[in-house]
Amino acid sequence: MRLPKLLLSERGALALTESLTLKAVSLLLALILWITVLGFKKEELKKNIKLEPLLPPGMMIVNKLPSYIQFSVSGPRVLLKNVEKKDVPIRPDLRHTRDNTVVLTVSEDLIGDLPNGVRVTSFFPPTIVIRLEEVTESYVPVKPTLRGQIADGEEISMVKAWPGKVAIAGPKSLLMQLEAVGTEAIDVTGLSGVKEAVATVEVDAEQGFRLSRDQVVKVRIMTKKVK
């Protein structure tokens, strides 16, 4: 009688194993189905794409542009992940334009190819105005920037920079209005007599100015007794 009991025990264990296996497979299939359904659930994504216009030679942008164009796209989650990873800037080609003012009309075409099932629902801004101006170069006087209080009973008698002028490149209209450029601040606290220093010339890069050649100047500062 022991042998049949052993067989029954083995059959029971086998049945239990089969039951657990079927449950595990069912759970796995349910998980796969849930992930699949979740992946194809429609969602909306806001994506910022860099704006990098291609400019004509010798021209520059003189007005402030948005750094990004924001697109709202809708589609299955699994496809939106690919759109989110895409990092190709928008580069409108202005290299052959002769206009000083260009109005860029934003459309869904600027975002490029999208997967089937993904569409653009909105974008901002709808239009972008780009103002271009010729870049020219001019020599501009250097006016050293001083910081601090000189010694009591003294007054500054001379501030001189070598070279006295530096080449600045920038938009023509703004460059014509530029009377002088400064330097990094030179500390003259307690100065009595003569001080020499080397200072970096500073220009306003936000207005499109840049130094063409000389980056630093030598500065000589002299004081004299107040009469």
Of 77 and 179, which is predicted with more confidence? 179
Q: What is the average pLDDT value for the chain, to the nearest integer?
A: 86
Mean of pLDDT values over 161-180: 94
Closest CA relative to residue 83, chosen from 71, 66, 67? 71
Is residue 54 scored above 50 in pLDDT?
yes
CB-based contact 35:77 (threshold 8 Å) = no
Q: How far apart (Å, rounded) are the C-alpha atoms in residues 70 and 122? A: 8
Domains of the chain by residue range: 42-133, 142-225
Q: How far apart (Å, rounded) are the C-alpha atoms in residues 181 and 38? A: 61
Tens digits of residue pLDDT in 65-100: 999 999 999 988 888 888 888 888 999 999 999 889
Which tokens belong to 21? Answer: 């296996």
Residues 6+ apart with CB under 8 A from 11: none
Residues 6+ apart with CB under 8 A from 120: 71, 72, 73, 108, 111, 114
Mean of pLDDT values over 91-115: 90
The CATH number fitting domain 142-225, selected from 3.30.565.10, 2.60.40.420, 2.160.10.10, 2.170.120.40: 2.170.120.40
CATH fold match for the domains 42-133 and 142-225:
yes
| Whole-angstrom Cα Rg for the chain | 35
Q: What pLDDT is stored for residue 8 in this prediction? A: 53
Mean of pLDDT values over 151-176: 93
**Whether residue 57 has a cis bond before it, omega within 30° of 0:** no
Tens digits of residue pLDDT in 114-146: 888 888 999 999 999 999 999 999 999 999 999
Tens digits of residue pLDDT in 206-221: 888 999 888 999 999 9
Q: What pLDDT is stored for residue 87 in this prediction? A: 83
Q: How far apart (Å, rounded) are the C-alpha atoms in residues 177 and 175? A: 5
- Confidence class of residue 39 from pLDDT cuts 50, 70 and 90? very low
CATH 3.30.930.10 fits 42-133, yes or no: no
